[in-house]
Chain A
Amino acid sequence: GDSVTQMEGPVTLSEEAFLTINCTYTATGYPSLFWYVQYPGEGLQLLLKATKADDKGSNKGFEATYRKETTSFHLEKGSVQVSDSAVYFCALILSGGTSYGKLTFGQGTILTVHP
């Protein structure tokens, strides 16, 4: 079945460090890919998305490129801030078939950024 695998956490960085959170997927069709972020005590928020191969999603300094050849959608940020501390989820949606409309999530990666 369809699945998303994220790098194991937690990830601890100092402020202004470079961030990479790896995400790979397995899908039977042509998924759209998403990164969601969950701040403490809050609901999931969409961070960025990409709907086809080679698309780059970006938001708030975060970027991720849809790589069909490596089935990956790694999240990157050049300089993290303390306020980026949260749990990050990679997810996919397929179009068509019985999986129509549902998100399949990875297990999440906890990011902690220290001053």
Chain B
Amino acid sequence: DTGVSQNPRHKITKRGQNVTFRCDPISEHNRLYWYRQTLGQGPEFLTYFQNEAQLEKSRLLSDRFSAERPKGSFSTLEIQRTEQGDSAMYLCASSSLAGGPKNIQYFGAGTRLSVL
């Protein structure tokens, strides 16, 4: 068990470019979550997957954002036509379906995005 892995750790891009982040959850974890954290704030929920199905999306997830989890393993979060307001830390978490909905989410170290 190597924990939740996120890549890259840092991404600097110019406004208008597309970026993609990857999250590798703890093996055998059915659920995967994406959150966004801006400076001085707590993480805000973006979306979550149970296996390969995307079951919930926040209104924060505009049409420029898309997330996938093919085959129910790793996940990618893509932001198209980035804006300066997208600058934030993007966090991924995973949890096991066993134990019910109040199970523990394990977080990766995050990808810090800076849009210039």
Interface size on B, residues (CB 8 A): 28
Residues on the B chain within 8 Å of A45, using CB: 107
Q: CB within 8 Å of A: which of B59-104?
A: 91, 93, 95, 100-102, 104
Query: Cβ of B25 < 8 Å from any Cβ of A?
Result: no
Interface residues on A, range: 20 to 34
**Residues of A bordering B, CB below 8 Å:** 4, 32, 36, 41-46, 49, 51, 89, 91, 93, 95-96, 98, 100-108
Query: Cβ of B31 < 8 Å from any Cβ of A?
Result: yes
Contact call A32/B102, Cβ cutoff below 8 A: yes
Given contacts A43-B91, A108-B42, contact A101 B109 (CB under 8 A): no
Q: List 22 A-B contacts (CB under 8 A).
A: A4-B42, A36-B107, A43-B4, A43-B91, A43-B109, A44-B43, A44-B107, A46-B104, A51-B102, A89-B43, A91-B42, A93-B101, A100-B101, A101-B50, A101-B55, A101-B56, A102-B33, A102-B56, A102-B58, A107-B41, A107-B42, A108-B42
